[in-house]
């Protein structure tokens, strides 16, 4: 067995201290060590983005980051988007706009879109599409995903709901 | 009869809350303590003899529990890979297939051993330490050369590479029509291999309990009951001792229908080692070993009169079946049976298919399976004829359509189109896209040296499989029907177990809509369950071929109606009235003319488990039904794609995409539109981006990751403008047709026709897929060189 390294990381507001192998990928640390299985693995080459999580507010493909690299950092995963059982505006929008079918890529899209809306609160459709080109969806053809992100943006802008940016900053 | 309230309504999916919060239950999310991980040692060669396999080093690694080879599995796994007759009952050669190769490997990625270890990392370490020596053999990589007598053979023990050679109709059929033809157009149309690429790769977990001899298998599958039969059969276990569970599945697109080596190897390893075992495919393994779709060459000839009316058609399909014949690999021959499309062929259609064995992963159905190929070939030929005759492609279509008054219409192959109004969808699409203005704009742009093209695809589809009589031969005996079991509990809540299986289609929502209207019980009180062979009816056929609603949904409807029939008798008993005097309305049975004298479905449910039932009536309120449709269903539509090609770069930009489809009555428009939009994206992906490429010389896969296999992103796929017409199907009580594959069936032809139309001034008359900038640029250069 390889030597283990201590890691202390905040995920969705809870701090976890664990010993990990240096080669442990972040996505498997989240899924198998912490039981947060909402983050999925869809490829081995960081093309599909199903494993996207936020590390200190920035989107990261967790299949291409080691768990040890997150020591001392603040992580947000799909499980951290809803607060006290209430969906956030982006989740609501994915639901309303039928932005998912099989749902496997959805957590990655939600996290990438969270980061996108944090950096650009009112993106055009084109900006949404370009902003999400690191994620693959095989079911929807993306139309409803783009609609969902824009409608979430409007909801947040009009104050209809809690800003997604709060979640993006890891404060949700 | 309840007033329709939910059917037709835009209900938001009840599946979504769990999926958008990270609460999905995909197979790999199941984390059971003590479960071992399996990794597969695979052949790096397309064709080779295994000369030595040494697992000593691997076995000595910490955490490695076992290295298992063919010798270990042979005593526990029997039989060969299942191959359904599909549309080719008599096959020339069906190579025997065992899940692990022992002496000869016939495609890159074929398993040669598995390593089972305490966790995933140690299993992968173990697999890397297994030493295998190979003697490479010549690989069959070219579909047409494979037919030559001196070609290498895909398996060393074969005399030729022919899997099947079947003429559905002899060439003589069309001899007269071709002799009378005023014009004949010909084309060789390539259908590149595609990787279905669900974002969730395949995975299997298994736990064998030796005390009660029970095997539980969790897997990502589109048809758990078929998987159970295959696994139980291979392990020599009774069907009832195997339970297959498939909760959430991250997409299938046909690739999670057939049987795979790992479906047997994981349960067998669990049984051998008496420990639970799990395996998840990597993306590279998926591109290497999950069945591919398409992979065909189609030689087509169309005979017509100079006024544009069709006479006859000839189709010769060369189908790359891969190294073994896929479980439903011969289904793709339906490209021949549907080649006539939406049109009439007074002189008939001659169609022949040749299935060719190669040293590549087997092909099997991928979204549309045979029908996209049929649509692509006929829609291409129609446009080609239009160019030759200098006619508007719209006029050629109108001239040859099966007319709305001609349904039911029986085609050359004896298949009966149930209902349709092909011109209706085309007219609506022309209006939406602004056709005449577009043609004017095209002329203006051409004068500026710009290349705008308009492409049509007036597609049809056979789907909704059954009927049992027509399909039993194709599966090897099981007639395709679909099952549902409705249980109304004493408190009036309902659980419905269905034999079809959802992996994105939204059964939990639409089936509840149907049941709610039929039963008169609130939607919220109805739960739809699927994906567990230990629950519900004895058999379910699963989800593929756009059959879930038209067959599975109708089973829900049929079983719900049985509940209503029994409830009527109980209501009559409780109200001391004759059943004939009762009216069922909005979930209440009341005495005709006396709405105050009534019993609700909830009251009846409670009474069904109580003390006072009608004479001779059993307790309980449950019903089971299998729906066997009288015919297939035949959705159709008209897609129009507008493309501009940049001649300097060969880049084709889709400017507009309009789709008017008709899937009969719509249960949930939100889901229908989602299916169409997503389907179109996959068709565009084939037309412009995706291709599984193998090295011609050695049969090495060159698109082994998503870096090379170009699944398009949100930045590439346009939003299609959607509309529909409604022509109910006479094949089921709700008048519905399938819509899951429609977009994919239609789209590639619309896109390619648009590109060819754009480049028509250069004299380009055909383009193969994918129409990448590279391919288009070369073709444009050639054409321009030729013109100079």
What confidence score (pLDDT) does residue A168 get? 43
Closest residue by Cα to residue B303 from B396, B172, B179, B171:
B179
CB contacts of B714 in chain A (<8 Å) are 128-130, 132-133, 135, 137, 142, 145-146
Question: Residues, chain A, total?
Answer: 172
Whether residue B16 and residue A103 make contact (CB cut-off 8 A), yes or no, is yes
CA distance B199 to chain A (A): 5
What confidence score (pLDDT) does residue A117 get? 97
Whether residue B29 and residue A31 make contact (CB cut-off 8 A), yes or no, is yes
Inform me whether the pLDDT recorded for A169 exceeds 50: no
What does DSSP say about strands B64-69 and B111-117: parallel, antiparallel, or unpaired? antiparallel
Which residues between 158 and 187 in chain B have a beta carbon less than 8 angstroms from any beta carbon of chain A?
none
Whether residue B13 and residue A98 make contact (CB cut-off 8 A), yes or no, is yes
What confidence score (pLDDT) does residue B80 get? 81
Whether residue A47 and residue B705 make contact (CB cut-off 8 A), yes or no, is yes
Give the residue on A whose Cα is nearest the Cα of B17: A95
Name residue, tokens 């899951």: B740
pTM recorded for the entire structure = 0.97
Whether residue B503 and residue A102 make contact (CB cut-off 8 A), yes or no, is yes
Listed in sequence order, the residues at least 6 apart from B415 whose beta carbon sits closer than 8 Å to its beta carbon are B337, B462, B632
Inform me whether the pLDDT recorded for A163 exceeds 70: no
Test the B interface: residue of A141, A151, A172 with most B CBs within 10 Å = A141
Q: pLDDT class for A159, splitting at 50, 70, 90? A: confident
Give the residue on A whose Cα is nearest the Cα of B680: A141
Triad B375, B379, B383: Cα angle to 5°: 170
Measured torsion, CA atoms of residues B401, B402, B403, B405, in degrees rounded to the nearest 10: 180
Using an 8 Å Cβ cutoff, are B472 and B479 in contact? yes
Give the residue on B whose Cα is nearest the Cα of A144: B674
CA distances from B206 to B79, B263, B536, B719 (A): 20, 9, 21, 41
Which of B720 and A159 is assigned the larger pLDDT? B720
Whether residue B20 and residue A91 make contact (CB cut-off 8 A), yes or no, is yes
Alpha-carbon distance of B378 to B750, in angstroms, equals 11
CB contacts of A66 in chain B (<8 Å) are none
pLDDT per position as a tens digit, A33-68: 999 999 999 998 999 999 999 999 999 999 999 999
Task: Report chain A's C-alpha Rg in angstroms.
Answer: 16
Closest residue by Cα to residue B381 from B639, B191, B189:
B189
What confidence score (pLDDT) does residue A2 get? 62
Helices A143-157 + A106-119 axis angle, to 10: 40
DSSP letter for each residue of B695-733: -TTT--BS--STTTS----TTTPPPPEEEE-----TTST
What confidence score (pLDDT) does residue B45 get? 98
What confidence score (pLDDT) does residue B4 get? 56
Tell me if residue B168 falls in helix, strand or coil.
strand
Q: pLDDT class for A166, splitting at 50, 70, 90? A: very low
Give the residue on B whose Cα is nearest the Cα of A85: B21
What confidence score (pLDDT) does residue A161 get? 58
Whether residue B253 and residue A106 make contact (CB cut-off 8 A), yes or no, is no
What confidence score (pLDDT) does residue A1 get? 52
* B456 beta partners: B640
Listed in sequence order, the residues at least 6 apart from B711 whose beta carbon sits closer than 8 Å to its beta carbon are A47, A48, A136, A138, B197, B685, B689, B690
Alpha-carbon distance of B137 to B509, in angstroms, equals 52
User: Consecutive 10-residue runs of chain B (788 residues): their mean pLDDT?
Assistant: 74 97 97 96 98 98 98 94 94 97 98 98 98 98 97 98 98 97 98 98 97 97 97 97 97 97 98 98 98 98 98 98 97 98 98 98 97 98 98 98 98 97 98 98 98 98 95 92 98 97 96 97 97 96 95 98 98 97 95 95 97 95 98 98 98 98 97 98 98 95 97 98 98 97 98 98 97 97 77
Whether residue B26 and residue A104 make contact (CB cut-off 8 A), yes or no, is yes
Alpha-carbon distance of B289 to B109, in angstroms, equals 6
Alpha-carbon distance of B97 to B323, in angstroms, equals 10
């Amino acid at each position: 067995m390889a030597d283990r390294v201590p890691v202390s990381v905040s995920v969705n507001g809870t701090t976890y201290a664990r010993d990990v192998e240096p080669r442990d990928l972040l996505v498997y640390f989240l899924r198998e060590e912490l039981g947060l299985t909402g983050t999925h693995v869809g490829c081995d080459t960081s093309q599909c983005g199903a494993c996207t999580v936020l590390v200190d507010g920035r989107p990261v493909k967790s299949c291409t980051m080691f768990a040890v690299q997150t020591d001392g950092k603040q992580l947000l995963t799909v499980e951290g988007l809803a607060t006290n059982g209430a969906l956030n505006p982006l989740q609501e929008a994915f639901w309303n706009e039928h932005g998912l079918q099989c749902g496997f890529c959805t957590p990655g899209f939600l996290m990438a879109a969270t980061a996108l809306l944090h950096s650009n609160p009112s993106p055009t459709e084109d900006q949404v599409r370009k902003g999400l080109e690191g994620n693959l969806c095989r079911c929807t053809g993306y139309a409803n995903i783009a609609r969902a992100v824009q409608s979430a943006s409007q909801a947040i802008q009009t104050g209809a709901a809690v800003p997604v940016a709060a979640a993006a900053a890891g404060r949700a | 009869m309840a007033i329709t309230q939910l059917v037709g309504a835009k209900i938001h999916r009840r599946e979504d809350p769990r999926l958008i919060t990270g609460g999905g239950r995909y197979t790999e999310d199941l984390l059971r303590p003590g479960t071992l991980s399996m990794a597969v040692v695979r052949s790096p060669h397309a064709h080779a003899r295994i000369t030595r396999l040494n697992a000593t080093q691997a076995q000595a690694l910490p955490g490695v529990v076992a290295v298992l080879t063919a010798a270990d599995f042979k005593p526990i796994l029997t039989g060969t890979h299942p191959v359904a007759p599909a549309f080719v009952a008599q096959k020339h050669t069906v190579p025997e297939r065992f899940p692990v190769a022992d002496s000869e490997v016939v495609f890159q990625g074929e398993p040669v051993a598995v390593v089972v270890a305490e966790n995933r990392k140690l299993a992968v370490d173990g697999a890397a330490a297994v030493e295998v020596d190979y003697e490479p053999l010549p690989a069959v990589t070219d579909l047409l050369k494979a037919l030559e007598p001196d070609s290498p053979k895909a398996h060393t023990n074969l005399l030729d590479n022919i899997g099947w050679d079947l003429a559905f109709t002899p060439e003589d059929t069309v001899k007269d029509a071709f002799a009378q033809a005023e014009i004949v157009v010909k084309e060789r149309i390539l259908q590149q291999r595609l990787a279905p690429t669900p974002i969730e790769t395949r995975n299997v977990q298994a736990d064998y309990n030796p005390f009660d001899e029970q095997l539980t298998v969790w897997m990502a599958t589109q048809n758990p009951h078929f998987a159970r039969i295959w696994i139980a059969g291979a392990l020599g276990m009774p069907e009832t001792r195997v339970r297959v569970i498939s909760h959430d599945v991250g997409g299938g697109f046909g690739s999670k229908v057939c049987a795979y080596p790992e479906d047997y190897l994981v349960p067998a390893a669990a049984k051998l080692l008496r420990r639970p075992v799990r395996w998840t495919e990597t993306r590279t393994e998926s591109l290497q070993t999950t069945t591919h779709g398409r992979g065909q060459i189609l030689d087509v000839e169309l005979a017509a009169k100079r006024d544009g009316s069709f006479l006859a058609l000839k189709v010769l399909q060369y189908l790359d079946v891969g190294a073994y014949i896929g479980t439903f690999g011969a289904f793709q021959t339906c490209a021949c049976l549907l080649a006539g499309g939406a049109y009439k062929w007074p002189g008939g259609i001659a169609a022949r298919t040749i299935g060719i064995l190669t040293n590549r992963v087997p092909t099997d159905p991928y979204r549309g399976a045979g029908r996209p190929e049929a649509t692509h070939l006929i829609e291409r030929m129609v446009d080609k004829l239009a160019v030759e005759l200098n006619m508007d492609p719209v006029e050629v279509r109108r001239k040859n359509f099966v007319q709305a008054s001609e349904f039911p219409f029986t085609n050359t192959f004896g298949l009966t189109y149930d209902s349709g109004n092909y011109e209706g969808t085309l007219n609506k699409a022309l209006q939406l896209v602004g056709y005449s203005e577009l043609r004017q704009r095209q002329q203006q742009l051409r004068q500026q040296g710009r290349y705008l093209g308009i492409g049509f695809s007036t597609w049809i589809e056979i789907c909704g499989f059954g009927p049992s009589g027509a399909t039993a031969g194709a599966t090897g005996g099981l007639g395709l029907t679909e099952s549902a079991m409705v249980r109304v509990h004493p408190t009036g809540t309902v659980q419905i177990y269905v034999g079809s299986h959802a992996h994105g289609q939204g059964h939990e929502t639409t089936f509840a809509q149907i049941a709610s209207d039929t039963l008169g019980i609130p939607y919220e009180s109805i739960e739809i369950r699927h994906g567990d062979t230990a629950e519900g009816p004895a058999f379910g056929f699963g989800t593929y071929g756009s059959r879930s609603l038209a067959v599975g949904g109708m089973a829900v409807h049929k079983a719900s109606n049985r509940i209503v029939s029994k409830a009527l008798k109980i209501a009559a008993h409780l109200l001391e009235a004759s059943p004939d005097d009762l009216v069922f309305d909005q979930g209440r049975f009341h005495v005709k003319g006396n709405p105050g004298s009534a019993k609700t479905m909830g009251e009846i449910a409670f009474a069904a488990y109580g003390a006072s039932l009608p004479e001779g009536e059993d307790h309980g309120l449950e019903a089971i039904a299998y729906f066997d449709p009288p015919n297939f269903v035949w959705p159709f539509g008209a897609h129009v794609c507008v493309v501009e090609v940049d001649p300097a770069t060969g880049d084709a930009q889709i400017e507009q995409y309009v789709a008017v489809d008709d899937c009969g009555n719509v249960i949930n428009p939100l889901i229908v539109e989602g299916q169409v939009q997503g389907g179109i994206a996959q068709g565009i992906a084939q037309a412009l981006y995706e291709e599984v490429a193998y090295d011609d010389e050695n049969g090495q896969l060159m698109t082994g990751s998503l870096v090379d296999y170009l699944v398009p992103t949100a930045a590439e796929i346009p939003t299609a403008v959607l509309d529909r017409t409604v022509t109910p199907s006479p094949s089921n009580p709700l008048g519905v047709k399938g819509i899951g594959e429609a977009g994919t069936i239609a789209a590639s032809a619309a896109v390619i026709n648009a590109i060819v139309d754009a480049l028509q001034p250069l004299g380009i008359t055909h383009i193969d897929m994918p129409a990448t900038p590279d391919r288009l640029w070369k073709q444009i250069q050639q054409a321009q060189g030729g013109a100079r």
